[in-house]
Structure 1
Amino acid sequence: MDKLSVLRECNRVLKLGGNVAGYVIYVPAGLTGAQERRAADLGPPDVTALASPEVLAQAAGLTIVAKEDVTD
């Protein structure tokens, strides 16, 4: 799935002043092998992205108004 295209379409159809809400399971670069295996064991199989969720949202023309990281 092309996440950037999806976010661009959300931005296109969003009413002025509207909001988009969502969540992302994102595994950042730089994890140890053990951390990557734990993430793979705990989450869905496709937990990879070429860019962070914030970078993708901003590239799509969206503005981040709230963010919460619930990582242990």
Structure 2
Amino acid sequence: MRAAIRTSTGSDGVLPGALRELFDEDHGNLFERIEDTVMRVAFEFSHRNQIQAARLLGISRNVLRARLIRAKEIAAVK
């Protein structure tokens, strides 16, 4: 996967270029926005399966769940 990112558009890659564009736009809370996006995309890619998405990202299901709740992607059970 990392090789695909690096070589998809030459040595610079798509992801580093996209990040540079975001840095130029000077968004507030950029890290949180990127993290939320990564979590949501992994969750959707895994057909909304939290265990599979967490495994894909190399994090625990509890960490993923907390981030998805923060991003309002899922509801917190009370």
Point out which structure has higher relative CO (alpha carbons under 8 A, 6+ apart).
1
Q: TM (normalized to structure 2)?
A: 0.30
Q: TM (normalized to structure 1)?
A: 0.31
